[in-house]
Amino acid sequence: MPVKMITVDEKDDNIRVDRWFARHYPELKNGQLQRLIRGKNIRVNGAKTSADTRLHTGDILRVPPMDVSEKSNLPRKLSKADIEFMQSLVIHKDDDVIVLNKPSGIAVQGGSGTVRHIDGMLDALRFEKDEKPRLVHRLDKDTSGILLLGRSANAAAKLAESFASREAKKVYWALVYGKPKLLSGKIDAPLSKMSGEKGGEQMRVDFENGQKAQTLYHVIDSLARKASWLEMMPLSGRTHQLRVHCLTLNTPIVGDGKYMDKTRETMGLKDENKLHLHARAIKIPHPRKGVLEIYAKIPQHIKDSFEFLGFDEKSAQDPFEYFVRGER
């Protein structure tokens, strides 16, 4: 496959290089892209570039030989069970967007030792389309709830832009140990990656060198000071943001083995070792017109814990209305 010299189209004006590749070469992993950039295999107008370089209409982009673009549009062979599983997750579908209610325990994308993941089974969600849908954001493996997919490159790009500009409003539910001193507020605690940690990526609060991270929260219900049901709206999108921000309230999320103090007394829940964090709702501009507002039912392990603690889902208010009032 020869080198391609591609003229940037008007619809891609002002897009970053990495987002251009995510739009046009969705199968190319970020690590692969970074290696191509470091090796100066990708150039803009003949000059070396970086992932965050902005492209403009008429720019000439050098794309090195890659097989991913041709492979990406070929349906992957999936088992009947995988197809049924993926289609059972769909809670909304239109011409531009598919919304999934992702279960806890399955990764969104592949990685070291991860063979089965959402990204690898997206061919099950082509339905009447010739192309498979594209991921536009991610959830941690153990976080359940809303996951949006764009059904075309254009739709995926518009959804991704809404996430990048913070037009997308996301609401999460979490069951936590303890009870915050303040029943509502804004957590403003910058985050950075911890170095030298084993067992996967881990974040920490870092007021000196961390990246800005803010979360609105309020307590929907609580059981004395033993457990609380939190509703949270992240105002930024840092790795493990909600999990670490809950620690700053001294209320770790139930089942968070990565961050929780292992000596903490348990509550006797049926699935206390499973993460109780759920992407409950999203409000985002639709790629074509209007606004998409979607809610995802909580998974069984959180439902069981709520019933055990006497928390009633019907007691939750409209989260978008509540948090809009809180930001004023």
Show which residues are catalytic. Answer: 140
Q: Provide the residue type at 7 as one letter.
A: T
Q: Which residues, at least 6 apart from 110, have a Cβ–Cβ distance to it below 8 Å? A: 117, 119, 120
* Sequence-ordered strand ranges (E) for the chain: 4-7, 43-44, 47-48, 60-63, 90-93, 97-102, 134-135, 144-150, 169-177, 184-188, 191-193, 203-205, 214-223, 227-234, 277-285, 291-295
Bridge partner list, 184: 218
Query: 148 and 216 in contact (C-beta within 8 Å)?
Result: no
Looking from the CA of 315 toward its CB, the CA atoms found within 13 Å total 12
Enter the tokens of residue 248.
């700053």
Closest to 254 in 3D by CA, of 173, 182, 200: 173
